[in-house]
Amino acid sequence: MSLQGKRAVITGSTSGIGHSIAVALAKQGCDVLLNGFGEAAAIEALTRDLAAKNRVKAFYSAANLATAAGVSSLIAQAQTDLGGIDILVNNAGIQHTSPIEDFLPERWDAIIALNLSAVFHAIHQVIPGMRRQGWGRIINIASVHGLVASPYKAAYVAAKHGVLGLTKVTALELATTRITCNAICPGWVRTPLVERQIEAKAKEQSLPLEEAAIKLLAEKQPSQRFTLPEDIGALTVFLCSEAAGNMTGTSLPIDGAWTAQ
């Protein structure tokens, strides 16, 4: 499954799922451009480590993807640093929980901007280059919440459902090319985003942190295990391979049987 010499942009990749995807692609020989938040020194160490361990090029963009201009900045830097884009992984996202009647409009706007609109803007901007080179992989990290809903997550669920619709449209428009577009739909993955939900449950129910984590799993994920970020990295590598060359428009759950219920 070597992807030697391919050039990948991974949004939201300074930690969690996105970072594991960047590591998995770098191990297969991809040059990578990271994007996300964090301390400058820590991010510099991440890119340096990725490059040295895998003998690839690794760069970082601090672009704010909440605006179309920010996405344009990211894609422009990728063209300069990497020389082109073969693989786009749309992973960046934020979360907020609240009943609909209390959901602040600015929170809704922020989640839709990053979790959905940024995905559109990035796809919109990479397709022409992928068409010219005759090959490309677009992978959208959605969620089980693109397939099913949970209360108090109106904006997140709406955005992730939108990502799956956008994935299908993109795949249909590119069906006769060698450019594919697929979505990965993780269940509970123990990332900083989910960690905050565990902490909130622990506080709300006066539970130890690990007991709150088990209760969170028990509510939705029959496997009773968190999906590992590395598992999502491995699935991303497969979708980039030639073995997945005719897989496009799919939404692949990796959710411990959450959506099988």
49's CB contacts (< 8 A; 6+ apart) are none
CB neighbours of 80 closer than 8 A, spacing ≥ 6?
none
Residue reference for tokens 């050039």: 7
Which is nearest to 43 in space by CA: 67, 18, 70? 18
Tell me the CA distances in angstroms from 23 to 30, 46, 130, 197, one per residue in order: 9, 10, 23, 26
Burial class (CB in 10 A: 0-12, 13-18, 19+), 100: exposed
Furthest CA-CA distance within the chain: 57
How would residue 197 be classed by pLDDT, with cut points 50, 70 and 90? confident
Per the annotation, the verdict on 156 as an active-site residue is yes
Return the residue matching tokens 């496009």.
248
How sure is the predictor about 1, in pLDDT bands with cuts at 50, 70 and 90?
low
Over the stretch 102-124, which tens digit does the pLDDT of each residue have?
A: 999 999 999 999 999 999 999 99
Kindly name the residue from 59, 60, 156, 226 that is annotated as catalytic.
156
pLDDT digits (tens, 9 = 90+) for 130-151: 999 999 999 999 999 999 999 9
What count of other Cβ atoms lies within 10 Å of the Cβ of residue 31?
26
**Dihedral, CA atoms, 40, 36, 184, 219, nearest 10 degrees?**
90
Edge-to-edge strand list for the sheet holding 31-35: 58-61, 31-35, 7-10, 87-90, 136-141, 179-186, 251-254
pLDDT in tens, 14-65: 999 999 999 999 999 999 999 999 999 999 999 999 999 999 999 999 999 9
